Amino acid sequence: MRVKLCALLAIAMTLGMATPSATAQGPVILKVAIVQQIDSMNPFLAVFQSSTEINRLMYDYLTAYAADDQRVTEGLANRWEPSPDKLTWTFTVPEGKKWSDGQLVTAHDVAFTYNLMLNDEVARTANGSFVTNFASVAAPDDRTVVIRTKAPQVTMLALDIPIVPRHVWEKVPSIKDYANDRMPVVGSGPFVLTDHVAGQFIKLKANKNYWRGPAKYDELHFVYFQNSDAAVQALTKGEIDLVNRMAPAQFDSLGDKPGVTRNKAQGRRFVELLINPGAQTRTGEPIGDGHAALKDVRVRRALAQAIDLDALVQRVSLGYAEKGAGLVPPVFGKWHWQPGEQELRKFDPAAANAALDAAGHPRKADGTRFGLRLVGRAGRAYDEQASEYLKRQLGDIGIPLDVRLVSDNQLNEATTVATYDLAFSGWATNVDPDFVLGLHTCAQRPGADGKGGTSDAYFCDATYDQLYARQLSEFDEGKRVEIVKQMQARFYDQVPAVVLAYENALEAYRSDRFARFTTQPAQGGVIMAQNGMWGYYGAEPAGRAAPPSSRGPALAIGGLVLLALVVVGVVVARRRKATAGERE
């Protein structure tokens, strides 16, 4: 009997706790789902996309990208001037911008940040690539920053480096061990970090000192979710206000939900299929065990021709993607390249078959030519599904695929040491295409020991490399765009990888609580994962009518169940007591 009472008590306590928490007239909060972990709040160390995005809210960069068309616009600096030899850049930090603790932002903060990275190897962990070409950084006065570079650098207005307050960071003894969690964290961005519980949530408050003016609501919470599935559910329940990175099916499921508005945006990401072109180290030693046939560009072209990109877009991405072409997604309109009529490889299995026959790979008696391995990431929906289609499409031209879906690490290992024939890959691109183009230069291949490579597809092409070098020092944007397009055309022609699709960024928000978000770019742009903080900063709350609490019924039902249990328990106990003497 005692045991039973204890059990009842335990249930009662559990249910009793399920009472609503009072949030009568609190602050206006934007709650955003994040799925990826935060590796660090220290902007010098944080390498995850999620961390970068939050750092962007905390710290302004020297320059920013406009919300509507992503052109370079005012960040901490409002003016910039290269010297005629393009080796010296002078930035001006205007007066009046303040840190969140009220101190003024000066050129010295900028110089401190950059010099820290130049002097401390650890500080270069996250963003070191931006300063490798820097010779020196100086702040002759409070307003002026002078950066000297070793060689002309075309990306000087795309330095995605959070500028930190010198008066806080000069006291930091070791960057490596600094978690940057002294709340509130002093910053210059539109929001101030106030609380962070790893694996649970991140809380930020609107920065009242923000130089563009404070955001239109009070707090911004990032709530950690295990997977986008849970996040979507929470959105429909009204537990959170904004979700991104939805799967197509999830996006579809929200179509008729009242109070929810969906945003189908052009994404910065593309997915590609790597075709091992005969991987080599920087010194030209063969590496890995890619299939020999793939060294032949005709074979690679034939493979690309046998892949039905439209089918992938329709069936795998359920239409929420655009057919792949060049390395730069269409969201960056001017850099994006589409093949012309005669360059275009249409889906044509017959032609692919013929090309393979011509390349000396006739079908054998069993109808196959040669088998290939396809490596993908297990648990990534796109890889799991697209591999089925590729298996069939390449099977149709006599190339059976051995699909191996592996862990992230194993996939990276396979692509790094080139133990693949075909592999899925994908990149998120920046406003400036330099990074994604640079992945395919010969210099990115690993050294003799097989280490130190960052090559994506083991592409090494003299023509491409020349073009790359030219665009790096081409300060006329129109001409640079031309070169970038030529590079993409070359890449497309040599097919070390087939860009399969530019996936849409699928987002949704509670329009009953937030009326409007600023997208980037203005047309078909994203709210989250921007090259900026506009989406969060520009959110406008709807009328203050809070949605009805969903906890009322829970409480009532819980109470009823509890009551019923107690009654039943008491009755049973009574009856048992009464008859206890007469049983054995």
Partner 1 sequence: MRLGVRLWGRLGGAALSLVMVAVLGFFLFRVVPGDPVVSMTRGRPTTAAMQAELRTQFGLDRPLHEQFWNYLTSLLRGDLGTSFTFRRPVSEVILERLGPTLLLVGTSTVIAVGLGLWLGVRAAWRRDSAFDRAATGVSLTLWAVPTFWLGMLLMMATGDLFPSRGMRDTDTAPDFVSQALDVGHHLVLPSLTLVAVVCAEYMLVMRSSLLEEMHAPYLTTARAKGLRDDLVRRRHAVPNAVLPAITLVFLRFGLVVAGAITTETVFSWPGLGLLFYDALTGPDYFLLQGLLVVTAGAVVVMNLLAELLYGVLDPRVKVV
Partner 2 sequence: MLELRNLTVHYGHKRVVHDVNLTLAPGQTLGLAGESGSGKSTVAMSVLRLLPRTARVDGEILLDGDDVQAMSWGRLRAVRWAAASIVFQGAMHSLNPVRRVGDQIAEPMRLHGTTGSVRELLEQVELPAEKARAYPHELSGGQRQRVMIAMALACGPRLVIADEPTTALDVVVQAQVLSVLTRLVAEQDLGLLMISHDLSVLAETCADLAVMYRGELVERGGTREVIANPRHPHTAALAAAFPVIGDPAHRWVEPVAAPEPLLQVRGLAVDYGRARAVDGVDLTIGRGEIVALVGQSGSGKTTLARTIMGLRKPSSGRVIFDGVPVPLGGKALKAFRRQVQLVLQDPASALNPRHTVLDAVAEGLRVHGIPGDEESLVSAAVERAELRPADLYLESLPHELSGGQQQRVVIAGALVLQPRLLVADEPVASLDASVRGEIVALLLRLRRELGLASLIITHDLGLAWQIADRVAVMHQGKIVEQGSVEQVLLNPTHDYTRALLRAVPQV
Partner 3 sequence: MSGFLTRGTGRGGKTGFLAHRAGVAGAAVLAVAALVAVIAPLLIPADALDVTRVTAAPWQSPGADHWLGTDHTGRSVALLVAQGAGTSLFVGLTAAVLAVGIGTLVGIVSGHFGGLLAGALLRVTDFFLVLPALVLAIALSTVLPRGLGTIVLAIGLTSWPSTARMVRAQTLTIEARPFVERARALGGGHGHVIGRHVLPSVVPLVLVNATLAVASAIVAESTLAFLGLGDPTRISWGAMLHQAQLHGAVPQRAWWFLLPPGVAIVVVVLAFTLVGRALEAVVTPKR
Residues that bind partner 3 (CB under 8 A): 227-229, 232-233, 236, 247, 249-250, 253, 311, 315, 378-379, 381, 384-385, 387-389, 391-393, 403-407, 410
Residue 513 in the binding site for partner 1 (CB under 8 A): no
Q: In the window 387-446, what residues touch partner 1 (CB under 8 A)?
A: 407-410, 412-413, 416, 427-428, 435, 438
Minimum distance of partner 2 from residue 576's CB (angstroms): 15
CA geometry: angle at 582 spanning 579 and 584, to 5°?
A: 110
Q: In the window 91-130, what residues touch partner 1 (CB under 8 A)?
A: 121-122, 124-130
Residue 542 in the binding site for partner 1 (CB under 8 A): no
Give the nearer residue to partner 3 in terms of CB position, either 281 or 393. Answer: 393
Residue 179 in the binding site for partner 1 (CB under 8 A): yes
Question: For partner 2, which residue of 85, 341, 476, 584 counts as binding (CB under 8 A)?
Answer: 584
Q: What are phi and psi of 149, to 5 degrees?
A: -110, 160
Could you give the CA distance from residue 372 to residue 421 in angstroms, rounded to a whole number? Answer: 6
Could you give the CA distance from residue 404 to residue 168 in angstroms, rounded to a whole number? Answer: 49
Residue 285 in the binding site for partner 1 (CB under 8 A): no
Start-to-end CA span in the chain (Å): 17
Question: For partner 1, which residue of 226, 342, 476, 544 counts as binding (CB under 8 A)?
Answer: 226
Burial class for 265, CB neighbours closer than 10 Å (0-12, 13-18, 19+): buried
**Partner whose binding site includes residue 250, from partner 3, partner 1, partner 2, none (CB under 5 to 8 Å by kind):** partner 3
Where would I find the beta strands (DSSP E) of 439-518?
497-510, 514-516
Give the nearer residue to partner 2 in terms of CB position, either 256 or 582. Answer: 582
Residue 283 in the binding site for partner 1 (CB under 8 A): no
Residue 191 in the binding site for partner 1 (CB under 8 A): no
Give whole-number Cα distances, 325 to 179, 241, 420, 421, 521, in Å.
41, 34, 22, 21, 21
Give the nearer residue to partner 2 in terms of CB position, either 462 or 580. Answer: 580
Across-strand partners of 29?
A: 219
In 3D, which of 77, 32, 59 has the Cα closest to residue 180?
59
Give the nearer residue to partner 2 in terms of CB position, either 479 or 576. Answer: 576
The interface region with partner 1, picked from 166-174, 221-229, 491-499, 505-513 by CB under 8 A, is 221-229
Residue 341 in the binding site for partner 2 (CB under 8 A): no
Residue 37 in the binding site for partner 1 (CB under 8 A): yes
Give the nearer residue to partner 2 in terms of CB position, either 79 or 575. Answer: 575
Q: In the window 442-501, what residues touch partner 1 (CB under 8 A)?
A: 447, 451-454
Q: Are 82 and 70 in contact (CB under 8 A)?
A: no
Residue type, 399: I
Minimum distance of partner 1 from residue 255's CB (angstroms): 19
Give the nearer residue to partner 2 in terms of CB position, either 102 or 581. Answer: 581
What are the contacts of 449-453 at 24+ separation with CB within 8 A? 450/281, 450/287, 450/417, 453/281, 453/282, 453/416
**Partner whose binding site includes residue 350, from partner 2, partner 3, partner 1, none (CB under 5 to 8 Å by kind):** none
The interface region with partner 2, picked from 206-214, 322-330, 342-350, 575-583 by CB under 8 A, is 575-583
Helix (H) or strand (E) holding 549: none
SS (H, E, C) 26-45: CCCEEEEEECCCCCCCCCCC
